[in-house]
Structure formats: structure tokens, C-alpha cells
Amino acid sequence: MRVPGMLHGALRLADHARADVLGIDTEAAEALEGVVAVYTGDHVPGQLSVGLIHTDWPVFIPIGGRTSYLGDVLAIVVAETQQIAREAAELIHISYDVHIPFTDASSALDSEEDAVWGLDGNVLSRSVYARGDTDAALADSAHVISEVFETQRVEHAFLEPESTLAVPREDGGLHVYSGGQGVWDDRDQICAVLDLPTDEVSVQLVSNGGAFGGKEDMSNQAQTALAAHLSGRPVKCTLTREQSMLVHAKRHPIRIDLSVGCDGDGKLTGVKARMIGDSGPYASVGMKVLERAAGHASGPYVTPTIDVEAVAVRTNNPVCGAFRGFGANQAQFAMEGALDRLAEKVGITGWEMRSRNVVEPGVIWGPGQRMDDGCLGARQCLEAVKEAYETARSEGKAVGLGLSLKNSGLGNGFKEVARAVIRFREDGQVEVRHCWTEMGQGVHTVALQVAVTELGVEPGRIEVIVDTSRELGAGQTTGSRGTLMAAGSVKAACEAAIADGCQIGVDYPGEYIIDWTNSLEEDVEEPILHSTFGYAAQVVIADPETGKIERVVAAQDVGKAINPTLCEGQVEGAVHMGLGYALTEDFPTDETGRPTNMTLRSLGIIRPKDMPDVDVILVEAPDPGSPYGVKGVGELGLVPTAGAVAAALHQVDGVWRARLPFGVHQPVSP
């Protein structure tokens, strides 16, 4: 994107993960020809920190402050060209007093010294619940598996690095083009930094080149807006790939100490889990990831007793936050591994072990929620892959099976509101305004489909728009809730328009609200933690000699396939991401908190030529409380993959794997 008079911004990031900032010398940068200005924390007129849940993430580390990870920003250079801006940013000299960073979550948890500047304590959150006497149940079990599972930090690797364009308005306000996952949150946080009322800043969504959760937090929106606001000229700032990797949040590495028991027939008796997640320095949504991991600890299975604690720890490693799966994949990698080990002890197949324990309508799941008819999809997915599972076994292949669930929406007591507006224009077009971010997943298409279905108009007459000109904000596009809540709100808006005769020039609002869930902390006997769940079963088929994965059969319950092509694409992409998570992807840091894989090539992403065939089976078990019966699709498809891969590889060499990724780390248990 280009606009007349546009300047370019470039960020200056920290040199050390934990160091006091003694001085910021911008003289050499400012002297470079073509540089217009250099802005630091001293230039911020309003709030210095932002955040989605806790306001603890500084937009700049000022002189006298302390860096807390290598993605911290110290200055933004504004220049006539991008090349000059980036060159000048390197000329900024920072004086430091360097401290030893906290790079081990367990050490940070045990330390009384604060890892992060200005924040007390290194425990970000603690999620705890229990049902029954789990220790007694495990002691009385015929078989018990106790093992430590470890998952790794992962980079999102979306194609488009973060970019923001901020343009001063004629009325003295600011118009910001953002590639984030929640433009209303972007607006509110920009206004807090600039100390402006919300009507003086408008933010427009630019459909971004992928996100997977990594663009929920602000990256360079606040700094770019500040530069445009102070300079009075349009400013665009696009991160380099290396900066992008340093700045945005990653998938949590989680250590899971898990014990699972069953009786002689393979029926589960108890689950005990202790999780420690490295959340990096700032909150992002890390507490919610560990909360989700805790809630999903038992997977889609019935257990009469359960005891779970999940702790999110602050360190000086990269920030960790939202990433497709959102804690469910970490937790269920461990649970699936335990089920396969127990199945071997009982003497039954992995398919049969899951069949004997899968959730059914009316049972109590995990933290205490009574499941409704929507969970019929779990068994339907299991049945859908049975033939492929048995056929591959009979052919002598190495076969692994994974079964998982993932909630749609935020849940856990959070009130979720989605709004939409239908407006008929004089030129014959119909505006559909909603509050969700298009990032390649097709939510604009879903909104269009709902409008076409409800209004009976041609698709060519529909124009889908997302900007902050209407107060429709519903937070981040996250938690596999876009289709669910967009469909509900657009449908309601269409119904309002039809009831009034579809008048030209009138805004017809629609709303979809989920306000009936409970948090883990509430004292409710049968809490409704989540409004909707999806289910998925995957069969991973590998060569019994080499372990090379040849085929994946993926059955996924989507409730109702609003757009089957988009659904299949989501599942295929999720399987690709799940295989990388299982086998090759990693984003480790060294003892200084510096990531060691800093190119796309080094991340271990599976290339197209190395992908096995993926057979997608869409299962439709409608959710009784959702519009059209829909369930979330995007995240669930990678949740069962790693467990299924581990089971298949066990058949190759007899080794149980408990640490991700398998292709990097040696097996840890015989």
C-alpha cells in the first residue's frame, strides 16, 4: 500500500533479553540524510504499555527501563525510504547494564527475583481443578502410566510479516490500516498510547497474509501510529522477517507431568496432570492458553477422577501467546500418548481403547461439564476412520491414531458478543459489516454466504467490510469462533432487515451473544466451560521400515459445513502444521534468550514435496445451540496429529516418544 507523502518507519529492537537501558543515543541516526525523525518512549503522550488482558507490554523501553526479551522496541526511525529507515535504526546506540536472563521456566518459577521489569513475581497464572480422589483411583488402578511429556516453542511463520500504515486525517484524527486480528482492540490500544479519544482514530482491517494467532497482540501498530501522529505525515512500517520472529508471540512450550490409570478392561480411572508453560515476559493471552490446556487435559474421554494444575511462568524467552490449538494440542499430545501406552498394557488396539472411553451425551467431561448431543461427533469421527485404520494394520503398515476435541470460542465465563450490520445502498449493493478478521481462512466468504442465504440476493451484490466505523468490536478473531459467531450475528442482522422491509440507507444491526459459560474458578457443580466443541480423529500411516509417513486420514466434525471447500482446506492445512509440530518444527533459544532458528528455512516447516497424501472426511454432528449447528474448524485439525504420529513411529521401532519434535530430539523412553 502506498499513499502520497508516505514515510517509512523502522524499529530498533533490544540487543539483550534482560538489561537496564542507561542511554539511547539517536544522534547518528538523525544525522543520516533522508531521516525525518526518531521517536522513543520519551515521545509517548499517553500510556507506555498495552495488552489484551494485562496492560504489561511496553510499546517502548525507555531510558531507565529494563528490556525483558529481544523483541522489545526502543525506538522507531521515520525516513523517506525503507532502506534509509532501516539503516538509521542500526545507527542508534544503546547503553546497557546487562543482567542474566531467565530462560528456564522451572528456575523462574522457583526464583524470588522478578524476571520482568515492573512486574511482581514470575507466575503469570495458575489454573487448578479436581474431581474425586485421583490419587486413590490411580493407586487402585490395574494399569497406570506416569510420564513427563514436553512440547516445544514454535514460530507461526505466516507469509506476510507485520505491517501497519497510519495516515493523518483531514479532521486531525488518524486512520490506521492494520493487519492485526482485532481492529477494535488495535484502535483502543493506539488511543491509549496517543492519549486520544476513540473517535479520533479509525482502524481498517487489511486482510493479512496469515496469522494463526500470532497477530492478536499489537506488533508495530502503536509505534507507527505515534510516528504518523507526531510527524503529521503518513507512515508505513513493515517488520523484517527477523524482527517479526523476535517480536510476535509464539506457541507455548509446556512440560506436562502426567499420570493416567485404567482398569483391566481399559476404562479410565483417573488423570493427574501438572503443567508448566514458558510464557515469556508479557501476558499476551498466556494465562488463557494454560487455562485451555488444563481444561482439555483429559482429551475427549470420560474419567471419573481428575486433578490438574497448569502454571504459566514469566521468563525472558520470546513472548508466548495464541497459536492454532491454543494449549489443547500440547495437553492432548500427552493424553493421547498415555492412552496408547495403556492400550498396550491392556492388550487392545488404540482404536478400541478410545472407543471404550470416548465422551457420549450425558457424561461428565474433564473439569465437570455435562456433555450434550453435540459430542456425538467424537464417536462419529472415530467410526469414520475405522476402516482406514484396520485396513492399514492388515497391510502391515505402521499405524497411529489420534482423537481430540477443541472448544469453539473463548468460554470459561467470558461474555462473547458478535455484532454485524446489514445496509442496503442506493447503488443496489448490500454492505455486510462484521467484526472478524479475514486472514485467509474465509470468514468474509462465510459472512457473504449467510447474507445470500438469508436475503436471497446475488453474491455479486454483497460487499463485506470490516472497519471501526461501527461499534461492532468483539475482541480478537481467535478460538475457532469466527464462523460460529459471524454466522449468528449476520443472520440476526439479515432477519432485522427482512422484518423492516430492507429499507435503503438503514443500518440493520444483528447480535450473537454467548454469556452462559462458567470459569474454572466458579463454584458450580456442573459448569458449562464452553458453548461448543468440535471433534477430530486422524489415522497416520507410515512405512514400517523407514517410518516415512505415507498418508493421513483426517475425519473432523464441523457441525455443519457452511463451505465444504474451505473446511477441507482448513483440515489439510492443520494436518500439515500438525505434522511439522510432531516431526520437525522448533524455535529454541540459547542461554541468553536469543532464538537460534532465525530463518524460515531453519524452522523445519514441512515442504509441499514432503507432505503425505491427506484424505479429509467431513463429519456433521450439529451443535444443538449454534446457528446452523456449526462448530469451529481451524484449530482442531492439528490437535490429534502429534499423538497419532507418535503411535505410528512406536510401531516402527518400539520406542515411545514423549518430547516434541520427534525428528530433532532423540526418544526419551524405551
Contact 282, 319 (CB under 8 A): yes
pLDDT digits (tens, 9 = 90+) for 484-539: 999 999 999 999 999 999 999 999 999 999 999 999 888 788 999 999 999 999 99
What CATH number is associated with residue 93?
3.90.1170.50
Q: Are residues 198 and 260 in the same domain?
A: no
Which position has the grid cell 514458558?
A: 278
Q: What is the pLDDT of residue 454?
A: 97
Closest CA to 451 of 475, 414, 418, 424: 424
Is 167 within a domain? yes
CB atoms within 10 A of CB 316: 25
List Cα–Cα distances, 559 to 532, 619, 623, in angstroms. Answer: 10, 7, 6
Same domain (yes/no): 60, 173: yes
Distance from CA of residue 472 to its chain's centroid? Answer: 22
Kindly state whether residues 536 and 397 are assigned to the same domain.
yes
The CA distance from 448 to 602, in Å, is 39
**Interatomic CA distance for residues 280 and 51, integer angstroms:** 14
pLDDT tier at 328 (50, 70, 90 boundaries)?
A: very high
**Domain count for the chain:** 3
Q: Does residue 1 lie in a domain region?
A: no
Query: What contacts 453, CB < 8 A, 6 or more positions away?
Result: none
Pairing of strands 93-98, 19-25: antiparallel
Q: Are 55 and 49 within 8 A, CB to CB?
A: yes
Q: Are residues 376 and 345 in the same domain?
A: yes
- What is the predicted pLDDT for the residue at 670? 35
Query: Under DSSP, is residue 128 helix (H, G, I), strand (E, B) or coil?
Result: strand
Question: Quick one: average pLDDT of 253-278?
Answer: 98
Range list of H helices, 262-398: 286-295, 328-346, 350-357, 376-384, 386-394
- Is residue 83 in some structural domain? yes
Cis check: omega of the bond before 367, within 30 degrees of 0: no
What does the DSSP assignment read for 195-226?
Answer: T--GGGEEEEE---S--TTTTSS-SSHHHHHH
Average pLDDT, stretch 107-112?
97
Structure letter (DSSP) for residue 251: B
How far is the C-alpha of 652 from the C-alpha of 646, rounded, in Å?
A: 10
Q: Are residues 277 and 359 part of one domain?
A: yes
Query: At residue 665, does pLDDT exceed 70?
Result: no
Q: Is residue 260 part of a domain?
A: yes
**Cβ-based neighbours of 113, under 8 Å, separated by 6 or more:** none
| The pLDDT of residue 664 | 57
Give the model confidence (pLDDT) of 205-248 as tens digits.
998 889 999 999 999 999 999 999 999 999 999 999 999 999 99
State the pLDDT at residue 668: 41
Per the rule left: phi > 0, alpha: psi between -120 and 50, beta: everything else, 531 is alpha
Using the CB atoms, write b or e for 138-166: b if 16+ within 10 Å: beebebbbebebbbbbbbbbbebbbbbbb
Residue 397 sits in the same domain as residue 430 = no
409 vs 571, residue with greater confidence: 571
Residue with cell string 547518528: 28
561: in domain: yes
Name 105's Cβ contacts closer than 8 Å, sequence gap at least 6: 253, 255, 276, 277, 278, 313, 315
Is the domain of 224 the same as that of 282? no
Name, in order, each residue with C-beta under 8 angstroms of 394's C-beta and a sequence gap of 6 or more: none
Claim to verify: residue 135 and residue 91 sit in the same structural domain: no
Over residues 142-192, the pLDDT tens digits come to 999 999 999 999 999 999 999 999 999 999 999 999 999 999 999 999 999
Which residues lie closer than 8 Å to 82 by C-beta, 6 or more apart?
Answer: 8, 10, 238
| pLDDT of amino acid 667 | 46
* 626-630, long-range: CB < 8 A, 24+ apart: 626/408, 626/484, 626/488, 626/531, 626/532, 626/559, 627/484, 627/487, 627/488, 627/491, 627/512, 628/487, 628/559, 628/560, 628/562, 629/559, 629/560, 630/483, 630/484, 630/487, 630/558, 630/559, 630/560, 630/562
Helices 328-346 + 350-357 axis angle, to 10: 110
Grid cell digits, residue 207: 486482510
- For residues 460-490, one letter each, b for 16 or more C-beta atoms within 10 angstroms of the residue's C-beta and e for the rest, the string is ebbebbbbbebebbbbbbbbbbbbbbbbbbb
* pLDDT tens, position by position, 576-633: 999 999 999 999 999 999 999 999 999 999 999 999 999 999 999 999 999 999 999 9
The CATH number assigned to the domain holding 329 equals 3.30.365.10
Q: Residues 527-553: what's their mean pLDDT?
A: 96
Q: Which of 464, 490, 514 is the last residue of a domain?
A: 514
pLDDT at 669: 40
**Predicted TM-score of the model (pTM):** 0.96
Is there a single domain that holds both residue 173 and residue 233?
yes
Instruction: Tell whether 668 is covered by a domain.
Output: no
Q: Are residues 87 and 235 in the same domain?
A: yes
Residue 442 lies in a domain: yes
Looking at residue 480, what DSSP letter applies? T
Cell of 244: 517479526
Q: What is the pLDDT of residues 411-460, one digit of tens each?
A: 999 899 999 999 999 999 999 999 998 888 899 999 999 999 999 999 99
From 265-279, 320-334, 383-397, 518-532, the region with the lowest mean pLDDT: 518-532
Q: What is the mean pLDDT of residues 336-341?
A: 98
Same-domain check for residues 292 and 167:
no
Average pLDDT of the residues in 533-561: 97
- For residues 383 and 236, membership in a common domain is answered with no
Residue 345 contacts residue 269 (beta carbons within 8 Å): no
Residue 43 located in a structural domain:
yes
The domain in which residue 70 lies consists of 7-99+159-210+215-247
Looking at the predicted structure, is the pLDDT value of residue 17 above 70? yes
612 DSSP 8-state letter? P
Asked if the model's pLDDT at residue 269 lies above 90, the reply is yes
Other CB atoms within 10 Å distance of the CB of residue 218: 27
Q: How far is CA 263 from the centre of its chain?
A: 36
